[in-house]
Structure 1
Amino acid sequence: MTAVHRPATAVIVDGYSTGAFLPPAFAALGVEVVHVQSTPEPMLTMLQPDPAAYRERYVLSGEDGLPGTVAALAALEPVAVLAGQEPGVPLADRLGELLGLPGNGSALSAARRDKYEMIEALRAAGLRCARQSKGADPDALAAWAQAEGGFPAVVKPLSSASTDHVYVCRSAAEVAAAARRVLAATDIFGSRNTEALVQSFLAGTEYIVDTVGVGGAHYVCGVWEYEKTELPSGRRIYDRDVLLDPRAEPVPELVAYVLEVLRALGIEHGPAHAEVMLTPQGPALVEIGARLNGNMNPGFHDACLGTNQAHLTALAYTRPQEFLDRYAGRVYTKHREAVVHNTRTELDGEVAAVDQAAVDEIAALETVHLVGVKLAPGKRLRPTTDLLTSPLRIFMTGPDAESLRADHRTIQTLKDAVYQLAETPAEA
């Protein structure tokens, strides 16, 4: 009897949000995927994985727990285990280790998720970073900021994302109040914040540096500058992520620093998404995730960069030698000008409908590649205070920067027509 040949299998842990781009990237290389959910219940605060994209699904719970999951996965003889979203990083590290697969190992998993441990690992490696303290006592954190951290100071959760509960504080009283808000909340992934983090403020311009690696040999697949806008409250929020020329300053300096960060945190294999502040003293890490960029869109990145982080990740895990030959040690080529625009609004109310004609009018602009509509009917539209409350994400690419800026100005006249609100605002 002829043996039945099954395609190779990769394991994706917590394939939420942009983790949804991984199954098609692996499929394009002839690799099937299975999904492991690291929590008993799904994380409903994020875009859910598509069940149809996975051959099988597992939940890390029940009497068998980790040993049962490892045994079930071992029977599949997987070629890779990786995280689809940040909460899955520690479990993906451990599963890969137990299955004997290439990965980052579990020794520094905590430093890849916990922002306090992350910065302390950089300090131990002698890299430039913020001063910091953590704890569950808001008054103690305020006292530390007063005595050690200085003002302004930044207060945030230990393991969240997307500017969730991030506060810039200018006094001890503001630090204490912000810490209380953090401790009273859950993070973006649905976990209760048991401690808050306070850090010294990093002044400067903020950048994204995205990478993919195999065995510590990395390809830099994009460097973007954050352009921010100021709200009437004085709070600064993200407006545009602008793709930079890899040959222009400060890209080489940022890349050199991030490669040191990757070494310090043991991120040798797979994707990473770093946010770095270029201070007057030089680059300093804001935070890094061992996962895809949350603003990554494969078609958009293919257009402006010639490839995308999901494809590169699948290649790194399933055809490592090809990745090393084609990409390792190199930096991206900028094919077109590109921007990711996160719109803001002052509207407040329940979404009654999405006006498709308004969406289509924005999409028809010459430089608009894709309009991401974040809210469905029945959801609450709130005045924008951070990335989580930005109502639209618009991917833009074109031949020159002025074309993108012209369409950006036009979008400001159209964006608030996308959502039709109910006559009576929803209760908070």
Structure 2
Amino acid sequence: MSRPLVVIVEPYSSGNMYAPVLRRAGFSTCAVTLRSAAPLAASFRAEDFDHHLEYGADDAAPITPRLLDPVLDQLRGLTPVAVVPGEQHGVRLADRLAAELTPERANLPELAAARWHKGAMYAAVAAAGLPVIESLATRDPDEVADWLRDTGLGGRDLVVKPANASGTDSVTMLPGGAGWRPAVTGLAGAVSRHGIQLTDVVVQEYVTGVEYAVDTFSHDGVHTVTDIVRYRKRSVDGRIAIYESMEFVPFDAPGHDELLRYTERVLDALGVRFGVAHTEVMVTDRGPLLVEVNARPPGGAQPWACQLATGDNLVDRTVRYLGGGATVRPDYDLEMSVLVVFFAVRSGGRISGIEGLNAITRLPSCCHLKINVVDGDEVPETLDLMDAHKLGVAVLGHPDPAQVRADHLEVRRIASRVGRPGGFTIDPVPVPVTP
């Protein structure tokens, strides 16, 4: 009997975890890749797939019958049991393929745009009666001027970001709203760092609070939580998405009931019924407010670190469900205190003295150190998550949260002395105690 087949669209970044897990569980695998100069394409592992189909356009191109039908015809012959996106730029095509090929395991087609276009996303969440950050998606600076006047946000801090970019690409904070017009015109129609044509620009009020990401696996419209992480970020010259660290926190920590209720209602509002999602929420003095939903696995080391923290991750949970295994649990247990520490450089230049980071491996809680540069490499100033991933990451894990907190500060001390003038780190900061 032939093995059931699962399609992974754009199996890059952490999306490349699907195929090996599926194969071990007895599935056949098919990759569908888009035409793109995406930097993440280097993470594609062709040997993990039994079939590989190429879609004849990038993620920004309209999905037309001329492009879609040849892929659909080939996939129908393979009779897939599920279609999942591996990376953000595969979300739109995976949604469309799933609706055609596996409608019982697909998200609501009529809300497809709300799962990849941030303007449509905020509108759908607001239409469901949920509080949202005041936002406008447009390419027209004059429309922004009218919106600022009508909302009373003129002269207030603003965030400007692309409606269809991934990660933290081109996310900028404008103090007092200064420079919003050139910021909007500069992004409208530009090309992202992934080589994708940008569409609309989102302008929104700047809000502060504690930012979380809730990772979920959904089946039949039931949302199960695989992990919750708390972000710490820094702002440099208006760039507000420079990651310092992310910490896995307990499912039942104080305040999480409200966070989780809001997240589940957001997923319902966006028509999420099957598959994984990475939902970023800012908990403010107004309550939880959506930053964005990414209907694909979180990137970087997060699924691996989640396995360390909880003994599970959203990729494995998906595959167990597809294999008809045990009932999917709705939550998770935090088995170990785990903190992912990101690196950054304050100015572009040549790397030197990087071997000094090896001292991190001798810390009691160091589980993993990945450095992606060597002495002599030229690196840019760290402005976003993609820049940080190019440098590397340290993963700390220990049964004692106090040990992780102490080692976090030690990582920053070590990193501040090596790598570049000014260090391979942002400024060390006190690490708050997790409730």
TM range (shorter): 0.7 to 0.9
Give, as a single letter, the amino acid of the residue that structure 1 aligns with 2:123. E
Question: Residues 377 and 197 of structure 1: is their aligned pair in 2 closer, same or farther, counting only changes over 3 Å?
Answer: farther
Q: Which residue does 1:7 correspond to in 2?
A: 3
Q: Which runs of 5+ in 2 are unaligned?
A: 58-64, 422-435
Pick one of 102, 107, 110 that aligns with 2:110: 107
Give, as a single letter, the amino acid of the residue that structure 1 aligns with 2:31. H
Pick one of 120, 125, 128 that aligns with 1:125: 128
Name the SS of the counterpart of 2:272 in structure 1: coil
* Conservation of the 8 A alpha-carbon contact between 1:154 and 1:200: yes
Q: Which runs of 5+ in 1 are unaligned?
A: 422-428
Name the SS of the counterpart of 1:257 in structure 2: helix
Alignment of 1:127-142 (within 5 A): 127-142=130-145
* Conservation of the 8 A alpha-carbon contact between 2:160 and 2:172: yes
Pick one of 364, 367, 388 that aligns with 2:365: 367
Q: Distance in 2 between matches of 1:83 and 1:333?
A: 26
**Is structure 2 residue 393 aligned with structure 1 residue 393?**
yes
Give, as a single letter, the amino acid of the residue that structure 1 aligns with 2:107. N
- 1:230 CA drift (Å): 5.0
Q: Which residue does 2:379 correspond to in 1?
A: 381
**Is structure 2 residue 13 aligned with structure 1 residue 27?**
no
Using the TM superposition, name which of 204-213 and 180-189 deviates more.
180-189
Alignment of 1:17-56 (within 5 A): 17-37=13-33, 39-44=34-39, 47-56=42-51
Q: Distance in 2 between matches of 1:176 and 1:233?
A: 15
* Conservation of the 8 A alpha-carbon contact between 2:278 and 2:294: yes
- 1:205 CA drift (Å): 1.2
Q: Structure 1 residue runs of 4+, over 6 Å off?
A: none
Q: Which residue does 2:164 correspond to in 1?
A: 159
Q: Distance in 1 between matches of 2:237 and 2:180?
A: 21
Q: Distance in 2 between matches of 1:265 and 1:235?
A: 26
1:52-110 C-alpha deviation (Å, 9 max, x unpaired): 11112111129963111111111112111110011111211111121134121422111
- 1:263 CA drift (Å): 0.5
- 1:143 CA drift (Å): 4.6
1:181-221 C-alpha deviation (Å, 9 max, x unpaired): 32363224321223211012222111111100111112111
Question: Residues 379 and 156 of structure 1: is their aligned pair in 2 closer, same or farther, counting only changes over 3 Å?
Answer: farther
TM-score (norm 2): 0.86
Give, as a single letter, the amino acid of the residue that structure 2 aligns with 1:312. R
Question: Residues 212 and 188 of structure 1: is their aligned pair in 2 closer, same or farther, counting only changes over 3 Å?
Answer: farther
Alignment size in residue pairs: 409
Q: Distance in 2 between matches of 1:184 and 1:343?
A: 31
Q: Distance in 1 between matches of 2:261 and 2:30?
A: 35
Question: Residues 371 and 180 of structure 1: is their aligned pair in 2 closer, same or farther, counting only changes over 3 Å?
Answer: farther
Q: Distance in 1 between matches of 2:17 and 2:148?
A: 41
- 1:383 CA drift (Å): 2.2
* Conservation of the 8 A alpha-carbon contact between 2:221 and 2:273: yes
- 1:336 CA drift (Å): 0.8
Q: Distance in 2 between matches of 1:46 and 1:373?
A: 19
Name the SS of the counterpart of 1:79 in structure 2: strand
* Conservation of the 8 A alpha-carbon contact between 1:10 and 1:31: yes
**Is structure 2 residue 186 aligned with structure 1 residue 181?**
yes
Backbone CA RMSD of aligned residues: 2.6
Question: Residues 292 and 108 of structure 1: is their aligned pair in 2 closer, same or farther, counting only changes over 3 Å?
Answer: same
Q: Distance in 1 between matches of 2:303 and 2:238?
A: 35
- 1:377 CA drift (Å): 7.7
* Conservation of the 8 A alpha-carbon contact between 2:135 and 2:204: yes
Q: Which residue does 2:343 correspond to in 1?
A: 343
Pick one of 247, 255, 276 that aligns with 1:250: 255
Pick one of 55, 69, 85 that aligns with 1:83: 85
Alignment of 1:53-72 (within 5 A): 53-61=48-56, 65-72=67-74
Give, as a single letter, the amino acid of the residue that structure 2 aligns with 1:181. G
Question: Residues 106 and 306 of structure 1: is their aligned pair in 2 closer, same or farther, counting only changes over 3 Å?
Answer: same
* Conservation of the 8 A alpha-carbon contact between 2:349 and 2:420: no
Q: Which residue does 1:413 correspond to in 2?
A: 413
Name the SS of the counterpart of 1:283 in structure 2: strand
* Conservation of the 8 A alpha-carbon contact between 1:362 and 1:414: yes
Give, as a single letter, the amino acid of the residue that structure 2 aligns with 1:29. A
